[in-house]
A and B are shown apart, each in its own frame.
Chain A
Amino acid sequence: MVFILGVNFPERNLLKKSLETFFGVGNNTSSRLLARFNIHPTCRVGELANKQVLDLTAVLSDMKIENDLRREVLNDIKRLKETGTYRGRRHALGLPVRGQRTRTQIKTPVRLNRMERRL
């Protein structure tokens, strides 16, 4: 088990996939992170040297990911609501925000758009 940013990852897991478990780290970010530290794309977590783990953790802790990012997104939506914009209202009503039709197929906004947006 290897600690990266306070999370324990099994050694067998792919490093790239493990990084992508963080909220805010996707394919692009994780690929770039690997390239930055000269780690090959199919590297397993267990193959990392100690220094590489520390480097990765250092970079990840500087990035806006996980709760910081969630908070930012929520604040953005809150701002929309408070300024009384149409988008803010749609968020609060649980309806699509970007002009989609509402006759059918709005399950996702119904599920996610609440007073406190689910992430």
Chain B
Amino acid sequence: MASAWCWSCLSRLRPTPRAILPPPAVTPRITSAPFHSTAVQYANPTKKKSSLVATKYRQGQVLKRKKKAKTERARPPAVGERKALRKRIVLSNPNALEVEGMKDLSPETMVDSRLRGSVVGLPVPMLERLRAVQAFKPKQGWSIFRRPGTVLRRDTIEMGRLFEKISGDGDAPEKGKVIKKIITGMKGSGKTVHLLQAMTMGFLKNWVVITVPDARDLVSGDTAYSPVEGSKPTQYVQPNAVSALLTRTVEANRQVLSTLKVSQKHPGLSGLKPTSTLEDLAKLGFQDAAIAWTVFQALWTELNATAAAPGMENNFEARPPMLVAVDGLAHWMTETAYRDADFKPVHAHDLIFVQHFLSLLKSGQSLKNGGMLLYATSTSNNPSNYSLEVGLNQLAARQAGIAPTSEEYPQPEAYSNPNARVLDLFKPATGKESALELQTLGGLARDETRGFLEYFAHSGLLRESVNEEWVGEKWTLSGGGIIGELEKLGRHVRTAAQPVAQPVAAAN
């Protein structure tokens, strides 16, 4: 430590600095009233705010703006994350009550007319396969119930019977027949769910189920296309879409496809052995999109084979019937977002994938081993299409017994310029072809409505006593039992003021 003495002049250095005292308070203290009981105010007198900053002589005033502090922006979502969220399908709601005594859709229940109007659950092992064929759509209300279930309506049971007949369980004369249907109906009438039920039945009956969950995907110009060499007029193949179709088909039908062996020779496919299963065959296509169309054609011939090629008989097993389900048919009747080399729009019928599925409607026995073609229109995502409208009207007229030569038979209006190829699809069948049918889904019947609304009550969504009068009211409100509207009513009607004991009353 330094000494306090300066050794050169022997004078005393300044002593250690004094303790720092607080600066004398600037505040004028109230000294005049020593006996005042209020506390002395230490606060500084407030300065007057000067609005202008004091400037020097002849210096201009500068407007000073505060810079905005940079806020940390959240990172944009990863690629595909938003789409995944948009397309997410939730099939279960743990908060909903489990409905006791709900039966599963099975080969027995799907034809049981005593169950008409009740909601049957989709079998749990089937859900993964239904997801694989994209049978569920994001905006359907599966997420409000404990488990997915559908109403057995009249159309469903009729369809169930068809499945049974075509499968030939009871040696019916319809065994191996092909049913071709176009399904229409109002918005919310259950067309897509009808297809879903068909797919479930197909799986239950061990059919091969091939689906196109959204017909628009093929025409919206979002998937690659290339012209087919030597085709005239030029046709286009969509390798990635075909590859996706093969992926769907294999994932959903693995059980069936893995048991069937290749029975024909496919010179275009080198990676195929005589002992390969159809699953192996289809897998070739989704590993390499370039040969996907060849693979699909090979798979199609295999599935439609009625006998093996000579020399390959020992592995042959009879092929099961097929279900082909397409949703959003109207998109396939217009021009697409694709352009040909001369920049003219490509018509959907020039896409070879689309043409393949549409030609099934026309040609005679299009599925050699029998099966069902269900092509549904959509009303929520629907291009307006005059030609299709006329075609469907003609189909409906024929079904109602009006002869095509009759005056009442609907014809396109003059100068409306309908597409001839589209109208061609709906021409009356000739010879032994199974005719194309039009199935219009309407509303549920009243008893079916009651069953459906009771399902809401049993699931704890609806706190109302479901009685005849109330059901009648909702049936009318829903435009005569349109099931989409009923669902809205079922999930919105919540009467908080009512006593809680109501769900029990719903059971009667």
Complex formed: what's the CA distance from A40 to B336 in Å? Answer: 11
15 contacts between A and B (CB under 8 A): A35-B339, A35-B340, A35-B341, A35-B342, A35-B343, A38-B226, A38-B227, A38-B341, A39-B224, A40-B221, A40-B224, A40-B225, A40-B337, A41-B221, A43-B224
Residue in chain B with minimal CB distance to A12: B79
A35-B340, A35-B342, A40-B224 are known; give 20 further A-B pairs, CB within 8 A.
A31-B339, A31-B343, A32-B343, A34-B339, A36-B341, A36-B343, A38-B225, A38-B226, A38-B236, A39-B224, A40-B222, A40-B223, A40-B225, A40-B337, A40-B338, A41-B221, A41-B337, A42-B221, A42-B222, A43-B224
Within 8 A of B (CB), among A38-79: 38-43, 47
Residue in chain A with minimal CB distance to B340: A35
Interface of B with A (CB < 8 Å)?
A: 79, 221-227, 236, 337-343
Complex formed: what's the CA distance from A43 to B222 in Å? Answer: 7
* A24–chain B nearest beta-carbon distance, Å: 18
9 A-B pairs with the lowest CB-CB distances in the bound complex, closest first: A35-B339, A41-B221, A35-B343, A42-B222, A40-B221, A32-B343, A38-B226, A36-B341, A40-B224
Complex formed: what's the CA distance from A42 to B220 in Å? Answer: 9
* A67–chain B nearest beta-carbon distance, Å: 27
Interface SS of chain B: loop
Given the contacts A31-B343, A35-B339, A35-B343, A47 and B79 also touching, CB distance less than 8 Å:
no
- Chain A contacts for B339, CB-based, 8 A: 31, 34-35
Complex formed: what's the CA distance from A115 to B476 in Å? Answer: 77
- Chain A contacts for B340, CB-based, 8 A: 35
- Chain B contacts for A31, CB-based, 8 A: 339, 343
Interface of A with B (CB < 8 Å)?
A: 12, 31-32, 34-36, 38-43, 47
Residue in chain B with minimal CB distance to A42: B222
Complex formed: what's the CA distance from A40 to B340 in Å? Answer: 10
Complex formed: what's the CA distance from A84 to B101 in Å? Answer: 95
* B226–chain A nearest beta-carbon distance, Å: 5
- Chain B contacts for A36, CB-based, 8 A: 341, 343
* A77–chain B nearest beta-carbon distance, Å: 32
Residue in chain B with minimal CB distance to A40: B221
Residue in chain B with minimal CB distance to A43: B224
Complex formed: what's the CA distance from A10 to B337 in Å? Answer: 25
Complex formed: what's the CA distance from A40 to B222 in Å? Answer: 7
Residue in chain A with minimal CB distance to B345: A35
- Chain B contacts for A43, CB-based, 8 A: 224
Complex formed: what's the CA distance from A43 to B337 in Å? Answer: 13
- Chain A contacts for B341, CB-based, 8 A: 35-36, 38
- Chain A contacts for B79, CB-based, 8 A: 12
Residue in chain A with minimal CB distance to B337: A41
Complex formed: what's the CA distance from A12 to B341 in Å? Answer: 25
Complex formed: what's the CA distance from A55 to B79 in Å? Answer: 29
Complex formed: what's the CA distance from A90 to B227 in Å? Answer: 52
- Chain A contacts for B224, CB-based, 8 A: 39-40, 43, 47
- Chain B contacts for A39, CB-based, 8 A: 224
Residue in chain A with minimal CB distance to B223: A40
Complex formed: what's the CA distance from A39 to B223 in Å? Answer: 9
- Chain B contacts for A35, CB-based, 8 A: 339-343
Complex formed: what's the CA distance from A52 to B180 in Å? Answer: 41
- Chain B contacts for A47, CB-based, 8 A: 224
Complex formed: what's the CA distance from A34 to B338 in Å? Answer: 10
* A15–chain B nearest beta-carbon distance, Å: 11
* A28–chain B nearest beta-carbon distance, Å: 9
* B323–chain A nearest beta-carbon distance, Å: 30
Residue in chain A with minimal CB distance to B344: A35
- Chain A contacts for B342, CB-based, 8 A: 35
- Chain A contacts for B338, CB-based, 8 A: 40
* A46–chain B nearest beta-carbon distance, Å: 12
* A6–chain B nearest beta-carbon distance, Å: 25
Complex formed: what's the CA distance from A42 to B221 in Å? Answer: 7
Complex formed: what's the CA distance from A43 to B224 in Å? Answer: 7
Complex formed: what's the CA distance from A44 to B221 in Å? Answer: 13
Complex formed: what's the CA distance from A34 to B339 in Å? Answer: 9
Residue in chain A with minimal CB distance to B238: A40
Complex formed: what's the CA distance from A57 to B206 in Å? Answer: 52
Complex formed: what's the CA distance from A35 to B338 in Å? Answer: 8
* A93–chain B nearest beta-carbon distance, Å: 33
Residue in chain A with minimal CB distance to B338: A40
* B288–chain A nearest beta-carbon distance, Å: 14
Residue in chain A with minimal CB distance to B342: A35
Complex formed: what's the CA distance from A40 to B220 in Å? Answer: 9
Residue in chain B with minimal CB distance to A32: B343
Which among A36, A40, A41 has the greatest number of chain B C-beta atoms within 10 A? A40
- Chain B contacts for A40, CB-based, 8 A: 221-225, 337-338
Complex formed: what's the CA distance from A31 to B340 in Å? Answer: 11
Complex formed: what's the CA distance from A47 to B225 in Å? Answer: 12
- Chain A contacts for B222, CB-based, 8 A: 40, 42
* B4–chain A nearest beta-carbon distance, Å: 75
* A76–chain B nearest beta-carbon distance, Å: 28
Complex formed: what's the CA distance from A38 to B341 in Å? Answer: 7
Complex formed: what's the CA distance from A38 to B342 in Å? Answer: 10
Complex formed: what's the CA distance from A43 to B338 in Å? Answer: 12
Complex formed: what's the CA distance from A32 to B236 in Å? Answer: 17
Complex formed: what's the CA distance from A12 to B343 in Å? Answer: 25
- Chain B contacts for A12, CB-based, 8 A: 79
Complex formed: what's the CA distance from A98 to B343 in Å? Answer: 34
Complex formed: what's the CA distance from A67 to B222 in Å? Answer: 33
